[in-house]
Structures are given as C-alpha cells and as structure tokens.
Amino acid sequence: MPDITQSPWQTAALLIARLVFAAMFLMGVVFKFMDMGATAGYIAAAGFPFPLFLAWCAAILETLLVIAFLTGALLTPAALVAAVYVTFLGFAFHGPSHWASNQAEFGAFMSHFPFAAGLLFAAVHGPGRTLALNLGWPGKA
C-alpha cells in the first residue's frame, strides 16, 4: 500500500512517468493511424493471421492505454496489461528467431524489458494523488 504522504518530487516523478508512458504509446498509435496498412503488413510479416484486424485492435488498445496514463484512471490494470503487451511485442517482433539475420534485433528485443519493468512498477505504485482520477483497484491511489 503506498504511503499516504507524498513529497513534491514523488508527485513530479509519478506525473512525468505517466507522461512518458502515454507518449510512448501515443507515438505507436499515431504511426498506426497514419498507415494502418503498413502496420497490418508488419503484423502479417511476423506470421499473424488477420493482420488488419489485429492492427486495429493494437491501435484501440494503445489509445486506451494513453487515456489511462494521462488520466490515471484504471492505471494499475492498464499498466499490467501494457507490461504483458510490451513483453509480447518483444518476443513476437524482435525475438530469438530474428537475431540470426540481424543482431540489432537483439537490442530491440532487450529494450522491451526495462519498459515492461517500469510498467510493473507503475502498476504497483498507482497513478499518484495529483492529476489522477484514481479509479481502479482498491488500495491504489
């Protein structure tokens, strides 16, 4: 359970973290909406069926995550979903099968884990008490 008191630097850190998470997912959403066909092509190249449907699902999910991080509403479950999603993306699009042909894929794969760790940290600590709707699981403020 988070401490009831929160220093100004803790408040600032939580707000900045939420803005960073929102910005990361917003960039993904913007790129998807700019060219949904290219996103579908990328998904198809990874071997997934129904790539256009999955591209739209990803865009909708990422839009909902942006809203959750900006508002703080349902932040704990959103951050948990986001951590699973980011880990899945790492394996699906940059996993071991990609490393043999391109060593840079290993770096892309590894970059997903600190992101997922930050999302798990956010899930534990919640949105904070400032500029947050504080909707969500009991005990998360």
pTM given for the model: 0.85
- Show me where the domains of the chain are located: 8-125
pLDDT for residue 19 is more than 90: yes
Question: Helix H segments across 35-103?
Answer: 36-45, 51-71, 75-94, 96-99
pLDDT for residue 140 is more than 60: no
CA separation for the pair 34, 111 (Å, rounded): 24
